[in-house]
Amino acid sequence: MFEKLHVDFRTKSRMGCVMANDDKIDPSKVRAGLFALVTARLEDAHDIAVKGQGVHLNDQNVKDLIVDLHSVLEEVKIQIDTLDLMYDP
């Protein structure tokens, strides 16, 4: 299929940049980025938990918040698992 389209991923894109070479990835930047993502998602979890403390929530609102909280915490777990793999393969 790619031969028909004459796709060559080794060439420069129209924007003039090439794809990153895996040898040039800085693990400390990846680690810092992952921790930043964890921080952001934990802040999102905090917001959800604060909303859950509201006294005027109906059952559906609470169920929605629980689903949102599960989702955010699952993302955090995946990011932490990635950090684990980086430092204890």
Is the pLDDT score of 2 beyond 50? no
CA separation (Å) from 36 to 29, 43, 47, 88?
A: 10, 11, 17, 20
pLDDT digits (tens, 9 = 90+) for 44-80: 999 999 999 999 999 999 999 999 999 999 999 999 9
Q: Contact at 8 Å (CB) between 11 and 45?
A: no
Distance CA 81, CA 31 (A): 12
pTM of the model: 0.70
Q: Judging by beta carbons within 10 Å of its beta carbon (0-12, 13-18, 19+), is residue 55 exposed, middle or buried?
A: exposed
What secondary structure letter does DSSP report for 15? T
